Amino acid sequence: MSKVTVLSLLVEELKNGRIRVVDLTQPLGPDTPVIGLPPIFAQSPGLSMEVISKYDDKGPAWYWNTITLGEHTGTHFDAPVHWITGKDFASNTTDTIPVRQFVGAACVIDCSKETAVHENFLLTREHVQAWEGEHGRIQPGSWVLMRTDWSKRRGQEAFLNIKEDGPHSPGPHPDCVRFLAQERDVLGFGVETVGTDAGQAGGFDPPFPCHNIMHGNGKLGLASLNNLDQLPATGAVVIAAPLKIVNGSGSPLRVLALVPEA
């Protein structure tokens, strides 16, 4: 008989269904929404795909494609080097971040009711502290995931929600980002929206505070997550490993959560 370990128990629980694997990833295709920045800035292309061969003259027994896409397309990872505030940290790119950081506990803060009535809802320090009163203190090295049910919006128009004055979508308040990065030492912040910052965050102080402050503290980001409504407030483990792009600022990735059955 082999020794019982945490990992042998994990395999057993995966087999008997007491631990479920939940896919937190959006489908990645030509229709995947990408962030639009003010026209004075360069834009990130969405995904385009071209067949190299498909069991034809170009390759009689094989099918494969060429893909072109921005690093920050669809469900994706933000590395600290993505922002100017994170540019001087050691190991701040997709190929150099220690792989230990690609596995972490998840604290899921449900903001779906607030977002349903206020599309520009901002998560505050007080809201997070109220969550801690109910679920316990956020441990260092945890992902904090902001559930808004925004991923249930269908189509680019509803998802990006752009108006005359720019995009409208929820995100964290600057003071909340400071609290999570500096007083809780989180691993990073994850959201269901196209980017980790609120739609109107270009006009905040500082602009794009989640990018500015999280990456300025060496922390990570996850954007365009799905199925956060399937996660418990605590107790899930997130596996989020970006492609090992040399000097990459981020990457599309498959994000998985291990979730204990209630």
Binds Mn ion by CB under 5 A, chosen from 25, 78, 127, 160: 78
Stretch that binds Mn ion, among 56-64, 66-74, 114-122, 202-210 (CB under 5 A): 66-74
76-78/220-223 β-pairing:
antiparallel
Number of shown-chain residues binding ligand 23J (CB under 6 A): 10
Q: Judged by CB under 6 A, does residue 255 bind ligand 23J?
A: no
Neighbour-count burial for 202-221, b at 16+ CB within 10 Å, e otherwise:
eebeeebbbbbbbbbbbbbb
Neighbour-count burial for 141-150, b at 16+ CB within 10 Å, e otherwise:
ebbbbbbbbb
Shortest Cβ contact with Mn ion: which residue? Answer: 72
Q: Judged by CB under 6 A, does residue 35 bind ligand 23J?
A: yes
Give the C-alpha separation, 28 to 159, whole Å: 15
Annotated catalytic residue 82: yes
| Helix (H/G/I), strand (E/B), else coil: 50 | strand
Shortest Cβ contact with ligand 23J: which residue? Answer: 195
Q: Judged by CB under 5 A, does residue 153 bind Mn ion?
A: no
User: Encoding tokens for residue 21?
Assistant: 């694997």
From Mn ion, ligand 23J, none, interface partner of 197 (C-beta below 5 to 8 A by class): ligand 23J
From Mn ion, ligand 23J, none, interface partner of 208 (C-beta below 5 to 8 A by class): ligand 23J
Cβ atoms 107, 138 nearer than 8 A: yes
Q: Judged by CB under 5 A, does residue 147 bind Mn ion?
A: no
- Catalytic residue (one of 72, 76, 82, 127): 82
| Helix (H/G/I), strand (E/B), else coil: 25 | coil
Binds Mn ion by CB under 5 A, chosen from 26, 32, 69, 72: 72
Question: What single-letter DSSP state applies at residue 204?
Answer: S
Q: Judged by CB under 6 A, does residue 78 bind ligand 23J?
A: yes
Stretch that binds Mn ion, among 68-76, 148-156, 226-234, 251-259 (CB under 5 A): 68-76
Q: What is the DSSP string of 206-254?
A: SSSHIIIIIHHTT-EEEES---GGGS-SSSEEEEE-----TT-SEEE--
Footprint of ligand 23J on this chain (CB under 6 A)? 35, 37, 72, 78, 82, 195, 197, 208, 211, 223
- Annotated catalytic residues are 82
Footprint of Mn ion on this chain (CB under 5 A)? 72, 78
